[in-house]
Chain A
Amino acid sequence: MRREEIENQESKIENGLTRRAFLRLALVTGIVAGARVIQQATEPVGFERWFRWMLRGNLARFFAPPARVALAACATYDADVLGAVRAAWRDAALPDVRGARVVLKPNLVDVVEDLPCFTHPRVTQALIHLARELGAREIIVAEGTTFRRDVQAVLDATGYTDLLARERVPFVDLNYDDIVEIPLRGGYTRLKTLFVARTIRDADVLVSLPKMKTHHWTQVSVSVKNLFGIVPGIKYGWPKNTLHIQGIAAFLAELADSLPTRACAVVDGIVGLEGDGPLFGNAVPSGVIVAGNDLLAVDATCARLMGFDPAQIDYLDFGAWAGVGAIDESKIEIVGEALARLRRQFARPPQMG
């Protein structure tokens, strides 16, 4: 009897199964069990979509160049805000706006007396001046407020009515603009399309111009959350809750991923808002302007400036995993001022639910 046959005979287990067959069976069982675990884990969205997101995210993590985010110091609104915005725009290599139709989208969520919950008009004013310097063909300030149908009351109370008149810049109420339907690329929610304001679709460059603050639903509210204002209230209501119930993290990733026009961000972090944002937090003098082309990278940097770990913030963590943008420190190149010098620890928002 040959040695191989002897070994085969010896390796038979009591029920007659050979060792090789047993190993094959164990391998197949493992693969099937693993596939079942993945299938169950990805069931809510479907394996194919989950795999696409995961693949895109990993490709971005390993092969995409770092996102550039610029920090510029600006101690108060009476300081040289235009100088800080100009430096941040240049350092972050924000879009060339020569001959462009530029839409500035500040955060005018609402007015609460003495609380800085909205983008300060001096920052918006600086952007208007900078866009003119850079040769923009047309400049529009636009917002679709969340809590009130009557935006004029908000414009009056925030000082924007005076600003717009002084600068002779038109304002478009995005809640009442003509609507256009755009496809949603990511498939992160059940929505396949989204109505947005035509002014946003027709812009050459959209500048998200948020306040740097904490938020009781999303932990932080910066350039991506600010984009809630581009969807029309006449379709999604006030406070656009229809979009919240899609899952805030997934919807924010979808919004950032599906913008119909080129977007960048310039953040008003001169005085931030901590604690119970988006409305009732407290002022935090932070003295910073933040700018970048990758909205997730800008928001992740703002989270670090506020003393939070971006990976612990759902929409940032999900968006980065799906490849919408970068949040890892190793994938963000900070230019301008050093982040450590400008970091302030913000009070966390209260837990909802």
Chain B
Amino acid sequence: MTGAGTLLAVAKNPILPEMKEVLWFLLAFFILLVVMWKKAVPGVRKAMNERAEKIRDNLEEAEQVRNEAQEVLKQYKRQLADARDESNRIIEEARETAENLRRDMLQRAETQVAELRERSREEIKAAQERATSELQSRVGTMAIELAEKVVEQSLNRDANLRLIERYIEQVGSRS
């Protein structure tokens, strides 16, 4: 009774629609709802399914691309690691080569220094021997010259005759 009284009170309100309009409105709404349910919903559902399928495909494709990218990344990392190993190996080889070169050069330098030292020693020795020999030669020459002068002065006719007699004796005893 209270509700009917309120509805009446509302119906009487100019702002509120009439009961009949409400019924028509509800009828039209249900008809539209049924039409929409029968006609529009399958299309929308199909579109949504297609959309979902497409999204799923995209996701799979993205996953595949991601996998490929990861594979490429792995490969790149592997190549990078190989390159790093290779560069390390080259650096190590270069270091060893440089070390060998340094050792060779050092050894060669030491050999050359030793040879130079030996040659210098030999040259000094040869120079000493030359000087000694020259001195001996000069002393010998001076001694011979002195001996010649002494002999020239002391070899008188008698001494010369004695030498000739001795020569005759020695030559005559040969046969």
The finding on whether chains A and B are genuine partners in a shared complex, rather than unrelated, reads no
Binding site for B on A (CB under 8 A): none
